[in-house]
Amino acid sequence: MSVSLTDVSYSYPVPEFEGSPFDDAPVPDRQVVEQLQGITMTIQPGTLTLLVGTSGSGKSTLLRTMNGLVPKFYEGTLRGRVEVDSTDVAGVELHDVGRTSAMIFQNPRTQFFTPSVRTELAFGLENYGVDPSQIRDAVTRAVDQTGIAHLLDRRLDTLSGGELQRVACACALVTDVDLLLFDEPTSNLSVQGIDDFRNLVAQLKAAGKTLVIAEHRLHLFRGLVDVVHRISDGRVVETMTGDDFFGLTDVERVERGLRCLDLTRVDLPEPPAAGTSSDAGCTKLSTGLTVEHMCFSYRGEPTILDIDSLFFPAGAVTILTGPNGAGKSTLARLICGLEKSPPGARIGMRGPWSAARRQKSCGMVMQDVRRQLFSESVEREVTVGLDPRRRDAANVPELLERLDLAGQRDRHPLSLSGGQAQRLVIAATIAQDKEVVIFDEPTSGVDFRHLASIAGLVGELAAAGKVVIVITHDTELMSRCGDYLVNINTLKGQS
């Protein structure tokens, strides 16, 4: 199935909030953002096209033009022509788009409609009135392709981010359409999950599917990509074959702001035992956060955490990794007091902390950062909820500058791209000046330059004596800022 874009431009209005809506001041004009500008491209049937570029450059928006979400769902003005299989997408009703294409969103939570995996997989075909026996066959095929049989009877709200991405991928395959659009599909996947996704992409391409993928993680597509379009400020600024793209030198890659083209290898030690740390062959006292006797499960679910003792040193960055669904984000919520600890569990520094103390002393950048956006502007979001003393101490202009958000200070946070929203919540968390800071997949949807900036800020927090925990599968981030590495899967069953 071919895709053709001819001189496509897209703009949308963003409300600016100045003061209270109850003030007598006049409502300001709405700022117009030019997200896409004069894009022309043709995607041949049965090929894999990769969209690369900096966060906020327009990659996600470009994908959404191909299935009609822009401008039929996302408000704005679309100029030019978008055709799928020689049919103008503008003339196709939104509810019929799913008959020819499917999309996996950057945040899969936003595309689910039912409470459980099994019902979600059947939802699309049920809406089209497909015979139940055909639906069962289609679901079985998609489950086998994506390897999610073990998730079939789970509720969606109990799944990890990586598991949700795999379910979203399976939902897209159920309808067996010829055009598949992927927006950052590996952002929360483990190393094994990324390998599985590469194999799936290879199978889909071999089956003649047309694939368009927007991604920052690039190494897994070596040998699979036909065409690469680099997007910058809403324009296609460079087009290369897959072979030419993966032939770029490191200098050429960095000049383009792209992440590594090969998998980064990481070799970090385990953290020291509580109370001691190793420094140039000497042993000295070390403070940090201790988690003890943590055996946790959600109601009606199997045990997800079984940890006898785990130590996170202050003044260092501890990487927490492991398979999707192993309990990494759950452990983070328990540490922060956002999840009720089981009886007998102990969490704290220099003794156990109550849930209230943990909520006060711990800050967290969640995997789904849009749940943490509360204010009406980027600038105000950084200091929302801070007392006046802390608000004055936070250097908001410098934080926004370092995270490349200075030019967005008046934007509404919910109008930002996924990578921009990620960086905004990181800025807000740093401004809180907590004793313990946890980052849950802080580089999902983030390009090379912003990854380096985030790694630098994480390192500075550790240098200031904070307990810093980074939950990630991102080996580039691990190699840049990690001091210690904990694989949560090796902790299970310890006693």
Q: Which amino acid is residue 56, in one-letter code?
A: G
7 token code pair:
């001189």
Instruction: Answer yes or no: is 270 within a domain.
Output: no
d(CA 359, CA 140): 43
Q: Can you tell me the mean pLDDT for 290-310?
A: 90
**Tokens coding 218:** 């690039």
Whether 315 and 251 share a structural domain: no
Q: What is the pLDDT of residue 152?
A: 94
Arithmetic mean of pLDDT over the chain: 89
Tokens of 74: 């996302």
Average pLDDT over residues 373-382: 91
Q: Give me the CATH number covering residue 46.
A: 3.40.50.300
* Whole-structure pTM value: 0.85
Q: Look at the block and give the residue holding tokens 């996170």.
A: 312
Of 238, 256, 222, 210, residue with least CA distance to 103 = 210
Q: What is the pLDDT of residue 495?
A: 39
Phi, psi of 437 (to 5 degrees): -125, 125
Number of structural domains in the chain: 2
Residue 391, judged by CB atoms within 10 A of its CB (0-12, 13-18, 19+), counts as: middle
Encode pLDDT of 382-434 as tens digits. 988 888 877 777 888 999 998 999 999 988 998 888 788 888 999 999 999 99
Residue 442 lies in a domain: yes
Burial 464-478, CB ≥16 within 10 A → b, else e = eebbbbbbbbbbbbb
Q: Quote the percentage of the chain above a pLDDT of 90.
A: 68
Q: Which domain holds residue 64?
A: 3-19+26-255
Q: Same structural domain for residues 286 and 237?
A: no
What confidence category does residue 16 fall into, taking pLDDT thresholds of 50, 70 and 90? Answer: low
Report pLDDT digits (tens) over 139-177: 999 999 999 999 999 999 888 888 998 999 999 999 999
Long-range contacts at 260-264 (CB < 8 A, ≥ 24 apart): 260/218, 260/219, 260/476, 261/218, 261/219, 261/222, 262/219, 262/222, 263/219, 263/475, 264/475, 264/476, 264/478, 264/479
Q: Is residue 398 part of a domain?
A: yes
Query: Residues 249, 279: one domain?
Result: no
Whether 131 and 167 map to the same domain: the answer is yes
Q: Are 282 and 245 part of one and the same domain?
A: no
The string of DSSP letters for 132-164 reads HHHHHHHHHHHHHHHT-GGGTTSBGGGS-HHHH
Verify that 306 and 234 share a domain, yes or no. no
H or E segment to which residue 36 belongs: strand 31-43
If asked whether residues 165 and 87 sit together in one domain, one would say: yes
Radius of gyration of the chain (CA): 23
Write down the pLDDT at residue 160: 85
CB 361 within 8 A of CB 353: yes
Do the domain assignments include residue 267? Answer: no
CB 321 within 8 A of CB 485: yes
